[in-house]
Structure 1
Amino acid sequence: MFRKLRNKFLIINMSITSLLMIVAFSLIYWITYNNIQTDNHNKLNIQATKSFIRETSQGTVTQVLDTTSITDLNSKSTSSILNVRVDSNGNMLDRYVGDPSLVDNIQKVTQIAWNNRENSSTVTLEGKQWMYSITSPPTIRIVLQNGDTQILQENFDKVNLQNYNIVNLLDITESHETLINLLTTLISIGLIMLFLIFLVSRYFANRAIVPIAEAWARQKQFVADASHELKTPLMIMKANYDVLMANETETIQSQYKWLSYIKTGTDRMAKLVNDMLTLTRMDEANIELSKEEFNLSHAIRTVTESMDGILNDKGITLLCEIEPNMVIESDEERINQLITILFDNAVKYTNSGGQIELTLSKTKKQVKFVIKNSGKGIPQADLPKVFDRFYRVDPSRATKTEGHGLGLSIAKSIVHLLGGSIHVTSVENEWTTFTFTLNHLTRITPR
């Protein structure tokens, strides 16, 4: 069950992470692609509209056609920009002197660009990629000295004004390879990141499952322990009921012993149910506290005095060191319950003729309550379990001591509810000490 829960957590986490990475990397690639494409288009447009100026006796001649020198088509270090005049069939009108294979490549690229002028804006040939545009023939104007212009009606400077178009070519091989490299890098980084994220997610998923599994195990143990605790008084009540029913003619007076056993079982069940309900309420996040100022020193004195009879019966010596008139602002009812639980626990597990030491002191804005009793003590291995529900250090004493192992769990819940802390220390066969601190000290009234 917990493995399935962990796997679901991993699937959800990896799905969300993968989606975010795909979106982020796609956005990076799209922005880079658009920037490169825009830059290439700008270069091509500038080259297509580039003009050169010649001085004449009549004025300045502006001509759109630019016969830029052809760079090495096999070079990948620079981008080549060409302007090629073609006729209506896409045949080159200009003659280029140089490597025949180079001229042949220009012709092929130009022909492909002319044939695909309606469908695409790029040409790929022999490992190189070209962006192209088709422009109309140039217009030649003379700018006169007085600022007027006139269009030449004749060939000027032997420029052929026959019907032709210009194929503007821009080598974008380097830009294309940049995009390919970027895509490869993003995919590689994405796969590596997903693998690392999977390892990290698996680690934290396993850690996240641990407290859930522990809580589930404690819940199962709680149900099992509660069932066991309820089973004992129920069996007592049923057994004594059967005895009563077997002696129907007897008087209540003669059957008083069996009735008292039933009463004991009923009281035991009632206390267990009340303790379980108390713990359930403590677990609620929206539980309300009734905070008011009260004298904590007096409250502790009241609890200890109520147990004088039990202390005398067991021959226990009580040593108290209580700061007088210590006033705190807290929930008085729960504080009394907390002190009663700890004091009652100390009395139960103090050996006959033993000793209990009780201390109440202050540290800055905190109050500190310490109760130490002599006795069997708690093994070091069992100390972390002391506050667990239904836990007993010595299960064999379960029938000898009252209670169900819920008292200390309730005490811990009360302390945490009040914003304090509680812990236990012990030395086997010597002593056990419970200490709790609260942060609600208001004042210490004068003696």
Structure 2
Amino acid sequence: MQVALNTHETEEELRRLLAALLASGLVATLVGAGLAALMARRAMRPMAEALAIQRRFIADASHELRTPLTLMSTRAQMLRRSAVAANEDPAGLDELITDANQLTEILEDLLLAADPRADGELETVELVGVAREIYARFTEYAAERSIVLKLGHVPAHALVRARAAALQRAATALLENALDHAESSVVIEVRHEAKRVLFEVLDDGPGLPVDAEQHLFERFASSRVHNRDSEPRSGRHYGLGLALVSEIAHRFDGGVYATCAPGGRGARIGVWLPATNTTERAAQ
């Protein structure tokens, strides 16, 4: 007995079923991708709006502050000319002009940091010069708080690729933090470590609480806001200084660190940046 069966219709049905499955799978994939993109966009919208508001605020504040700073610098220069003409010492006016120029540079750096499209050109910055400059600026300020400010170990050169105004901001924030918690002395140091340059500030205050290093550089962290009298030295603390230090360090491929000072008394807080080739050869 011989039986013959025509499978053409069955094969055609299978092909149509396979085509339908492929088409439905493709449509489902496209619909799922579209829904995922829409949900992700809706979820990111509040964060994007908050970031845009922050950038607008920084840009507006920097722009509005630029005019009074320019006027202040101009008036200080005019007063200096008058003092020189009257054979008077213009030292205080020179410092005022320097501070006004530094504030202007800080505003320019803030504008660059607020604009994600503007990377800004990096420059070779001498960290030893930054250390000596803030030491000179804050010596009298520290003395008014009965704190001895010292310039500790510094090498001959410590060059990094960054922006001078940004490093001035970071160094100032580190020093202000140390002065707020020091008992009697603060030391500024610059050191080489492998292919890195370290800028650090040591204070003899109460030190760091347990596990403080994990969140010390977060915004609004306030684990070290009290001095030996258990009261803030200089008004309200917002916990932004060290967070800004961390952001500046990471902008230039660096990092931050915080440990207890040698002997377990006080804190050692600093920032590290990659050393330039010139600095590496000088250190060797």
Same fold (TM over 0.5): yes
Select 1:279's aligned residue among 92, 110, 113: 110
Match of 2:48 in 1: 212
Select 1:370's aligned residue among 176, 179, 200: 200
Q: Does 1:313 align with 2:150?
A: no
Select 2:15's aligned residue among 155, 172, 179: 179
Alpha carbons of 1:184 and 1:329: their partners in 2 closer, same or farther (altered >3 Å)? closer
Select 1:435's aligned residue among 254, 270, 280: 270
Q: Does 1:350 align with 2:186?
A: no
Match of 1:421 in 2: 255
Match of 1:384 in 2: 218
User: Hey, what's the Cα distance between the residues in 2 that align with 1:334 and 1:275?
Assistant: 5
- 1:358-378: CA deviations, max 9, x gaps? 342222211122224436989
Q: 1:438 offset after TM fit, Å?
A: 0.8
Compare CA radii of gyration and give the structure with the larger one. Answer: 1
User: Hey, what's the Cα distance between the residues in 2 that align with 1:197 and 1:433?
Assistant: 50
User: Hey, what's the Cα distance between the residues in 2 that align with 1:386 and 1:297?
Assistant: 30
Unpaired runs of 5+ residues, structure 1, are 1-70, 78-171, 234-267, 388-392
Letter of the 1:384 counterpart: E
Q: 1:344 offset after TM fit, Å?
A: 4.4
Q: Within 5 A, what are the aligned runs for 1:241-256?
A: none
Alpha carbons of 1:399 and 1:281: their partners in 2 closer, same or farther (altered >3 Å)? farther
Letter of the 1:184 counterpart: A
Q: Within 5 A, what are the aligned runs for 1:28-427?
A: 75-77=5-7, 172-194=8-30, 196-198=32-34, 200-201=36-37, 204-205=40-41, 208-209=44-45, 211-216=47-52, 218-219=54-55, 275-284=106-115, 285-291=118-124, 294=126, 296-297=127-128, 299-318=130-149, 321-330=152-161, 333-334=164-165, 337-338=168-169, 340-346=171-177, 348-350=179-181, 353-373=183-203, 374=205, 383-386=217-220, 400=234, 411=245, 414-422=248-256
* Cα pair 2:189 2:199 within 8 Å, conserved: yes
User: Hey, what's the Cα distance between the residues in 1 that align with 2:258 and 2:193?
Assistant: 19
Letter of the 1:421 counterpart: G
User: Hey, what's the Cα distance between the residues in 2 that align with 1:213 and 1:334?
Assistant: 28
TM-score of the two chains, using structure 1 as the length reference: 0.39
Letter of the 1:443 counterpart: E
Alpha carbons of 1:297 and 1:315: their partners in 2 closer, same or farther (altered >3 Å)? same
Q: 1:384 offset after TM fit, Å?
A: 1.7
Secondary structure of 1:322's match?
Answer: coil
* CA RMSD across the alignment: 5.1
Match of 2:87 in 1: none
Alpha carbons of 1:382 and 1:209: their partners in 2 closer, same or farther (altered >3 Å)? farther
* Cα pair 1:342 1:371 within 8 Å, conserved: no
Q: 1:425 offset after TM fit, Å?
A: 7.5
User: Hey, what's the Cα distance between the residues in 2 that align with 1:274 and 1:363?
Assistant: 29
- 1:139-196: CA deviations, max 9, x gaps? xxxxxxxxxxxxxxxxxxxxxxxxxxxxxxxxx4244323321222123323443454
Alpha carbons of 1:327 and 1:335: their partners in 2 closer, same or farther (altered >3 Å)? farther
User: Hey, what's the Cα distance between the residues in 2 that align with 1:213 and 1:326?
Assistant: 43
User: Hey, what's the Cα distance between the residues in 2 that align with 1:431 and 1:183?
Assistant: 73
User: Hey, what's the Cα distance between the residues in 1 that align with 2:217 and 2:252?
Assistant: 23
* Cα pair 1:326 1:444 within 8 Å, conserved: no
Identity of aligned residues (%): 16
Alpha carbons of 1:176 and 1:402: their partners in 2 closer, same or farther (altered >3 Å)? closer
Secondary structure of 2:190's match?
Answer: strand
Secondary structure of 1:287's match?
Answer: coil
* Cα pair 2:55 2:114 within 8 Å, conserved: no
Q: 1:440 offset after TM fit, Å?
A: 2.4
Secondary structure of 1:304's match?
Answer: helix
User: Hey, what's the Cα distance between the residues in 2 that align with 1:363 and 1:376?
Assistant: 24
Letter of the 2:253 counterpart: G
- 1:379-431: CA deviations, max 9, x gaps? 887852159xxxxx79xx999569999866765564344332346679xxx96
Q: 1:216 offset after TM fit, Å?
A: 3.9
Alpha carbons of 1:398 and 1:313: their partners in 2 closer, same or farther (altered >3 Å)? closer
User: Hey, what's the Cα distance between the residues in 2 that align with 1:271 and 1:402?
Assistant: 24
* Cα pair 2:150 2:186 within 8 Å, conserved: yes
* Cα pair 2:187 2:201 within 8 Å, conserved: yes
Alpha carbons of 1:361 and 1:418: their partners in 2 closer, same or farther (altered >3 Å)? same
Q: 1:341 offset after TM fit, Å?
A: 1.5
Alpha carbons of 1:209 and 1:192: their partners in 2 closer, same or farther (altered >3 Å)? same
- 1:275-296: CA deviations, max 9, x gaps? 544311333424223336x4x3
* Cα pair 1:367 1:438 within 8 Å, conserved: yes
User: Hey, what's the Cα distance between the residues in 2 that align with 1:291 and 1:207?
Assistant: 41
* Cα pair 2:173 2:245 within 8 Å, conserved: yes
Which has the bigger relative contact order, CA under 8 A and spacing at least 6? Answer: 2
Paired residues in the alignment total 231
* Cα pair 1:317 1:354 within 8 Å, conserved: yes
Q: Which has the higher helix share?
A: 2
